[in-house]
Amino acid sequence: MLKVKKNKTWMLSVMVITGILMLMLSACSNNSNTSATSTTSTTNQSETPKSNDTTSAQSSDESSGKKYKLGISVPSADHGWMGALVANTKTEAEKHPNIEYFLYTAKDPAKQTSDIEDLITKKVDAIVMLPIESAALTPVADKIANANIPLIVIDRAINSENYRTYIGGDNYGIGHGDAVYLVEQLKKTKGKAEGKVIEISGVPSTVTDLRSKGFRDYIQNYPGIQIIASQPGDFTREKALKATENILQANKEIDAVYSQDDDMTVGIVQAIRDAGRENEMFIVSSGGMKEIYQMMKEKQKPEVIVSLTYSPTMSGTAVNLATKILEGKGLEGFWEKSVPHSIVLEATPVTPENVDQFYNPDAKY
């Protein structure tokens, strides 16, 4: 009996100890789960602002009703490219309910300068500007900088670094690309790289300077090609028409035309047809205008063998960039948290061979 009692006592002790151990393990397990949940919660709280910075900023702006005033100053819409640019500016500005915008258009640098000074007086939060002339608008850009207002410059650069961001096309690349196509076409039509070429240029601006430089830098490699005349068409078809008429009257032999802009090309084409010389010469151009694409598709004379793209959509992008700068955001997909200082868009060659990929009858330009 005593032996049995000892065994029972021993078994009871084992059961008690086992129960205590199980309770301890259970407590450890519960503590472990509680610790993991707490860590996960803490991690989520600390990571959420990082992964949703943009969303948080947007929600904050919307919930607080914070608004920004945006000033926009561009040349008057006196030709197709500029008309599309102004329309794209409005379209983008109206997408942002927290943006109140003031859109000014001007026909000359003095009026544009006055408009921008008025925007500074209005204490706008940012300004988008397409300078009518680069040098003439540089001083007022300095005033914008002195007022600590971010300036986004479109298309034509200013002659200083007093701007927050520049967005434009590859103007040097346009001149260079047009020259490449011109040389190759002369080789096809004349058997070698030689001929007489005229240039119709734009308004005094970095755009005009770069397009001329890119063209001439390449042409100088071919001494058989002569640039026999160059006149400004000021990026309008009417002035380009007059300039081309003058050159045609003074020169009885022309093999090719370098037009710095598709709108001007329309005027150039008219002048050549009016003179009955459409089979004598071809044109290289730039802009990406649907009217020129239509000419390519229909193989009209004089033949436009290339138009390098220079899209007026850059103005819509500029407005969007302004909103990102004001809200302290970077570009989607960029690791950097700020908008770049300079953005240059590609100049894509459009030719009769690939024009169907680019032609859109409903395009604004």
Query: Among the three residues 287, 302, 326, which one is the final residue of a domain in this structure?
Result: 287
Where does 161-312 show beta strands of DSSP type E? Answer: 165-169, 195-201, 225-232, 256-259, 282-287, 304-309
| Cα-based distances in Å from 158 to 134, 204, 319 | 5, 11, 18
Identify the CA nearest to 352 among candidates 301, 310, 297: 297
Q: What is the mean pLDDT of residues 275-300?
A: 96
Range of the domain at 98: 66-169+314-345
**Which of 58-62, 98-102, 217-221 shows the lowest per-residue confidence on average (mean pLDDT)?**
58-62
Q: Which residue has the higher pLDDT, 27 or 155?
A: 155
Q: What is the pLDDT of residues 82-138, one digit of tens each?
A: 888 999 999 999 999 999 999 999 999 999 999 999 999 999 999 999 999 999 999
Q: What is the mean pLDDT of residues 247-272?
A: 97
Which amino acid would we find at residue 338?
S
Are residues 87 and 138 located together in one domain of the fold?
Answer: yes
Give the pLDDT band of residue 43 (cuts 50, 70, 90). Answer: very low
For the record, the structure tokens of 172 come out as 């040097």
pTM for the full model?
0.73
**Is 360 among the domain residues?**
no
Are residues 90 and 152 located together in one domain of the fold?
Answer: yes
**Is 83 among the domain residues?**
yes
Q: What is the pLDDT of residues 80-95, one digit of tens each?
A: 788 889 999 999 999 9
Number of domains in the chain: 2
Are residues 127 and 178 located together in one domain of the fold?
Answer: no
**Is 21 among the domain residues?**
no
Are residues 233 and 337 located together in one domain of the fold?
Answer: no
